[in-house]
Amino acid sequence: MNCPHAQQPGPSPDAPAEPVVLDPLVTDLDAESAALRAAGPLARVVLPGGVACYAVTHHAEARRLLTDARLVKDIGVWGAWQRGEIPSDWALIGLANPGRSLLTVDGADHRRLRALVAQALTVRRVERLRGRIEELTSALLDTLAERRQEPAVDLKAEFAYRLPMNVISDLMGVDPADHPRLKELYEKFFSTQTPPEEVPRMMADLGELFTRVVEAKRAAPGDDLTSALIAASEDGDRLTADEILNTLMVMVAAGHETTISLIVNAVVALETHPEQRALVLAGTIPWENVIEETLRWSSPTSHVLFRYATEDIAVGAAVLPAGEALVVSFGAIGRDERQHGPTAGAFDATRTPNRHIAFGHGPHVCPGAALSRLEAAVALPALYARFPGLGLAVPAADLRNKPVVTQNDLFDLPVHLTGVRAEVRAGP
């Protein structure tokens, strides 16, 4: 979709004259991330649909901006939004303006909502979920084992998707019967290729589905976060119906998409770096290292939309003008040589230290980071223990990214569960 009324932000001092136009089909994410780093630390970018903004692309500057109180989540600060230049049928509108939730408010309102969510996602409580995650993982691997002799199995659809969707559904109180419909709707929600005429209906359908979940929990509360949010509201915490609904929607979206990509990207990294795979399977390096290096080198989140500048903000030698929108480009940031040295472009699970910010930084750091890490820490070693002959069923060069600018997300991950691996094209 073209957005002819969106205006390019003017170049700030020392910013590149030409913006980086993000590819809506995400055909070469590595090259695009490299271009963003070269244009940074503050790059002008054009999002799919012609929407112009800025992106922070270097590690140090991103850490600083993510704690800068002059950058807020209130979309009303965005000049292009005020001027009516962002159409309601923009393919990414659900990500840019997802409604009032813990991810879109600041200050006291953010602390209030985050405190309630944090009660369900403390490290101790997340660890108590380990047994359930192990149970789900084992059941999914049992199902995969029945297809051991097939020439190829889509590991993303059959394992990497099913595990986190079931875990977050348990946590939020979503009926597994809704999974097929949620998958269909979230495909449209994240995609840059959703036709404009389908966007309002898709957003309405998501709202209706999650409204049913909230209503069911009001009628019959359970041991889940949605019931806890409702109870907090009734106890005088002043959560509005929209805050409950939008927090549920955001948590389910973020709670499964990030972990899907983490598991998929870790498998791809290991299968294209056999020397690293050998080290972890021999016990020379722990799975924790594989997870952290995957988060850095192939961040599950490519770009996070948006924060808005309430005043001019210096970023290196450049300036983010007041009223402009800022994207945090985690895909570019993860391979910043200024932070990770000259080998930043290499996948190396022996890397130490490995101080990345793949889950964000500051007040809005991902509340589900511990849960995502735990799921990967259970799923990956169990997968390779069950299928030590696992390998890619297609050359790595044939794996395709989905048209999702916010997620580092493959269409599928065809693997052999046993037998000879496909010829791979190793990364750097």
pLDDT band per the 50, 70, 90 thresholds, residue 8: very low
What is the layout of strands, in order, in the sheet containing 304-309?
A: 20-21, 42-47, 51-56, 325-328, 304-309, 71-72
For residues 162 and 239, give the distance between their C-alpha atoms in angstroms, rounded to a whole number: 31
CA separation, residue 169 to residues 176, 178, 193, 251 (Å): 7, 9, 27, 10
Lowest-confidence region among 128-132, 143-147, 401-405: 128-132
Question: Is the pLDDT score of 164 beyond 90?
Answer: yes
3-state secondary structure the chain: CCCCCCCCCCCCCCCCCCCEECCCCCCCHHHHHHHHHHHCCEEEEEECCCEEEEEECCHHHHHHHCCCCCEECCHHHCHHHHCCCCCCCCCCHHHHCCCCCCCCCCHHHHHHHHHHHHHHCCHHHHHHCHHHHHHHHHHHHHHHHCCCCCCCEEHHHHHHCHHHHHHHHHHHCCCHHHHHHHHHHHHHHHCCCCCHHHHHHHHHHHHHHHHHHHHHHHHCCCCCHHHHHHHHHHHHHCCCHHHHHHHHHHHHHHHHHHHHHHHHHHHHHHHCCHHHHHHHHCCCCCHHHHHHHHHHHCCCECCEEEEEECCCEEECCEEECCCCEEEECHHHHCCCHHHHCCCCCCCCCCCCCCCCCCCCCHHHCCCCHHHHHHHHHHHHHHHHHHCCCCEECCCHHHCCECCCCCECCECCCEEECCCCCCCCCCCC
Beta strand 391-392 pairing with 414-416: antiparallel
pLDDT tens digits, residue range 38-53?
998 999 999 999 999 9
- In contact, 275 and 285? CB cutoff 8 Å: no
For residues 126 and 255, give the distance between their C-alpha atoms in angstroms, rounded to a whole number: 13
* Residue 10 confidence (pLDDT): 47
* Residue 13 confidence (pLDDT): 47
For residues 308 and 315, give the distance between their C-alpha atoms in angstroms, rounded to a whole number: 14
pLDDT band per the 50, 70, 90 thresholds, residue 269: very high
| Amino acid letter, 55 | A
pLDDT band per the 50, 70, 90 thresholds, residue 263: very high
Question: Is the pLDDT score of 421 beyond 60?
Answer: no
Give me the mean pLDDT over the 178-196 stretch: 89
pLDDT band per the 50, 70, 90 thresholds, residue 425: very low
* Residue 350 confidence (pLDDT): 96
**Residues ≥6 apart with Cβ < 8 Å to 334:** 295, 296, 297, 298, 299, 356, 358
Give me the mean pLDDT over the 257-278 stretch: 96
Question: Is the pLDDT score of 68 beyond 90?
Answer: yes
Nearest to 80 by CA among 326, 376, 410, 426: 326
Give me the mean pLDDT over the 204-221 stretch: 93
pLDDT tens digits, residue range 97-142?
777 777 777 777 777 777 777 766 677 777 888 999 999 999 999 9
> Where on the phi/psi map is residue 337: left (φ > 0), alpha (ψ -120 to 50), or beta?
alpha
For residues 408 and 370, give the distance between their C-alpha atoms in angstroms, rounded to a whole number: 19
In the chain, what percentage of residues exceed pLDDT 70? 91
Question: Is the pLDDT score of 65 beyond 60?
Answer: yes
Is 20-416 a CATH 1.10.630.10 domain?
A: yes
What's the whole-number average pLDDT of the chain? 88
Output the six-digit token pair for 408.
């580092």
pLDDT tens digits, residue range 14-39?
444 689 999 999 999 999 999 999 99
Question: Is the pLDDT score of 55 beyond 80?
Answer: yes
CA separation, residue 105 to residues 110, 169, 199, 204, 248 (Å): 5, 24, 24, 22, 15
pLDDT tens digits, residue range 81-93?
999 999 888 888 8
What angle is formed at CA 407 by the lines to CA 306 and CA 179, rounded to 5 degrees?
110
What residue ranges do the domains of the chain occupy?
20-416
Is the model's pTM score more than 0.85? yes
* Residue 2 confidence (pLDDT): 35
- In contact, 325 and 263? CB cutoff 8 Å: no
* Residue 255 confidence (pLDDT): 80
CA separation, residue 47 to residues 77, 79, 88, 245 (Å): 19, 16, 15, 27
* Residue 355 confidence (pLDDT): 94
pLDDT tens digits, residue range 341-359?
999 999 999 999 999 999 9
